[in-house]
Amino acid sequence: MAQNLQQLKKRIKTSQSIAQITKAMEMIAASKIRKAQTSVEKHNPYAKKIMSMTQRILLDKDLYEGIAKFVKRREGKKLVYVISPDKGLCGGLTVNLLKKLNSVVSKDDLIVSIGKKAVNYSSNYDLNVLASFNAGSAFPRYEDIYPMIDIAKKFYFSGEAASVSVVYTEFKNMLVQEAVETEIFPVKRDENFEDNSEIDYIFEPSADKVLEDLLPFYFEVEFYSALMNAYASEQAARMTAMKNAKENANDIAASLTNIYNRSRQEKITNEILDLANGQQTS
C-alpha cells in the first residue's frame, strides 16, 4: 500500500508539472496570435490597394486583349509552395496540411518547402523539391519572402512552370483553421470585385506594361498573406492543443488525488482496526 501511495504521489506531481508547462505554452501562443493580428491589420491597407489596382486592370474589357497573357492558363507542371510549422504540438494541423498537399501535387510538380514538417515530408515521399526554407518560431518578416518568391518569378515567367500556388493553413478563427490551396499565377479575375473609384485611368506606356510591373507586388502580398495565415493558424492550433492538454492533465491530477486520498484513508482505517483488534486480544 505504501508503495502504491508513493507511485500515486509521483503521478500527481507529474500531471501537475505537465499542466504548468502546457499552460505556459498556451499563453505564449496566445501572445503570438495577438502580435500576428496587429501585423495583419497594418499590412491590409497596402495589400488591398495592390489587389484593387490589379483587379481594376483585369476587369476592364477594353484592356483584356493586351493582358490576356497574364490570365490565360497554360498546360504543364505546377510550382507549389507548401508552408508548414517547424515544430509539432499543434494538434492535427500538420497532418491536415500534408493531406491537402498530397491531394493536389504529382511527382512531376515542382515543390518549395517552407517549414521542417514540409521539408521532411517532401524528402520522405521523394517529391521534386527545388528549395527548402525554415519557418522559424517568430512572426515572418516581409523581407524574408524575397528569396522564396524569386523562385516563382524565375520558373513562371520563363515558362518552366504553368502555374504557381501555395498550400497552407488558412486562419478562419481561433477554433477553425483549414488547409487550402491558393493559386496565385495565372492571375484570376475576381468578377465580384467592385471598383468604387470614379477616377478614369490613363495607362502609360500601356495597361499590359503596368500590369507586368505590378504583378511582382501582387505576388508578394498574396504570398505574404499566406505566410501570415499559416503562422496565425499554427499558434491558434497550438494554443487549443495546449489548453486541452492542460485541462486533461488537471483532470488526471484531480482524479489521482481522489484515489490517493481514498487509499490513504483506507490505510489509516485499517491501522486503527488492527490496533483495536490487538487491544481486544490482549
Average pLDDT of adjacent 10-residue blocks, the chain of 282 residues: 76 92 91 83 80 76 62 83 90 92 90 92 87 86 89 85 91 88 83 64 72 82 90 90 92 91 85 73 56
Residue with cell 499559416: 230
* Residue of 188, 182, 183, 160 whose CA lies nearest to 75: 160
Contacts of 195 (CB under 8 A, 6+ apart): 52, 55, 56, 59
In the chain, the domains with their CATH numbers are: 50-238 (3.40.1380.10)
Can you give the pLDDT at residue 61? 63
Joined grid coordinates for residue 119? 521539408
Report how far residue 210's alpha carbon sits from residue 218's, in angstroms, rounded to the nearest whole number: 12
pLDDT at 48: 79
| Close Cβ partners of 26 (under 8 Å, ≥ 6 residues apart) | 238, 239, 242, 243, 246
**Cα–Cα distances in Å, from 160 out to 117, 130, 223?**
27, 13, 20
User: What does the pLDDT read at residue 264?
Assistant: 84
CB 81 within 8 A of CB 56: no
82, HSE (Cβ side, Cα atoms, 13 Å): 34
Whole-structure pTM value: 0.81
